[in-house]
Chain A
Amino acid sequence: MLDDVDKRVLRRFQMDPTLSLAELARLAGVSTATCARRLQRLRDTEVIRAVRTVINWPALGYSVEVSLRITLDKTQPRAFDEFLAAAREVPEVIEAQTFLGQVDARLSVIARDMPHYQQVYRDKLLTLPHIADIEALMHVARVKFDETLPL
């Protein structure tokens, strides 16, 4: 189980994963050696999985992002598995989630522009298996996206 020192280190680290070990230790109020030891243990136990780089899709020419909320035909016993397996094969899909609630699944889809989105939507997404209903939310802006945990 994690103690207060671990939590302090993680809280600071997740706010800025680019901090040096010395800076992180100072902000968390522990010695550099303690900080290094704690981080190593958190990595060994896979509480820290990795430091990921967030890709700036607009800089790669993908300026449109759409969130598709999908209702599946649940009379098909393998609807979820088959839908997800097919969605994984569409390169423009960057996230796939399944839910308990009003919608069954959601896909984050990126495209270069609206004509490209239209083409991906018609040719690759509407053709995914077992879709009963689909509705689109168009991204205007990301207001918060750090995905930190309330430690």
Chain B
Amino acid sequence: MIDLDEIDRAMIRAVAADALITAGALGRQLGLSQPAAWRRLKRLREAGIFRGQRLDLDAQALGFTVTVFLGVKLATKGRVSLEDFERAVTAIPEVQTVEHVLGLYDYRLRVIARDITDFERVLRRRIMTLPGVGNIDANVLLSEERLPGPIG
């Protein structure tokens, strides 16, 4: 496991917030020279701490006003049905995330839609017709915050 000091943690926070920040800007923020910042960043990258990049778009401005979380219980289980379900559900563009979970549900889906009518269309035509789907439980997102996590 990689050892992190306070500067590393601050660096991870800064890179999480802005993937395009330069080593020079990081250095100025954290009181390091540009080469020193670059070396630290390289070490964090090589330790696999960054999983990739995500474009943070204003969904509202792009016309997507409804986000719904669905808890999906499969009616039939077995390896084949899990694979079929996963393949079909990940292909739906409105389904933004799919998590396999243990507990009350088998899968947790994040679905985005233009409005409630659009959501109903996605639910009826695409999600309720998925192979093996049993019970579905829906919760409409009202607010959301992402927190820095234990490196804060």
Which residues of A approach B to under 8 Å, CB–CB? 2, 10, 13-14, 17-18, 45-57, 59-62, 67, 84, 88, 91-103, 106, 110, 135-151
A99 contacts B101, CB within 8 Å? Answer: no
Whether, in the assembled complex, B129 has its beta carbon less than 8 Å from a beta carbon of chain A, the answer is no
Write out the residue numbers on chain A whose beta carbons fall within 8 Å of the beta carbon of B151.
Answer: 55, 60
Say yes or no: B112 contacts A149, CB within 8 Å: yes
Q: Is the CB–CB distance between B58 and A49 below 8 Å? A: yes
Asked whether B53 is an interface residue with its Cβ less than 8 Å from the other chain, the reply is: yes
Q: Which of B55, B59, B104, B143 contacts A137 (CB 8 A)?
A: B104
Known A51-B54, A94-B149, A99-B69; 16 more pairs at CB < 8 Å: A2-B62, A45-B61, A47-B62, A51-B19, A53-B52, A54-B54, A95-B145, A97-B69, A101-B138, A101-B140, A110-B150, A137-B102, A137-B103, A143-B86, A144-B95, A144-B98
Nearest chain B residue, comparing its CB with the CB of A18: B53
Complex Cα gap A140–B107 (Å) = 10
Residue on A nearest B105 in the bound complex, by CB: A137
- Asked if A94 and B137 make an inter-chain contact with CB atoms under 8 angstroms apart, the answer reads no
Q: Which of A45, A53, A103 contacts B139 (CB 8 A)?
A: A103
Size category, B interface: 35 or more
Q: Known contacts A47-B61, A91-B150, A95-B146; decide if A141 and B55 are in contact (CB<8 Å).
A: no
Q: Are A50 and B90 in contact (CB under 8 A)?
A: no
The answer on a CB contact under 8 Å between A142 and B99 is yes
Q: Is B28 an interface residue (CB 8 A)?
A: no
Select which of B19, B93, B142, B149 is within 8 A of A99 by beta carbon. Answer: B142
**CA A146 to CA B48, docked complex, whole Å:** 18
The reply to whether A101 and B139 form a contact with Cβ atoms under 8 Å apart is yes
Select B53's contact among A2, A51, A62, A137, beta carbons within 8 Å.
Answer: A51
Give the CA-CA distance A17 to B53 in the complex, in Å.
6
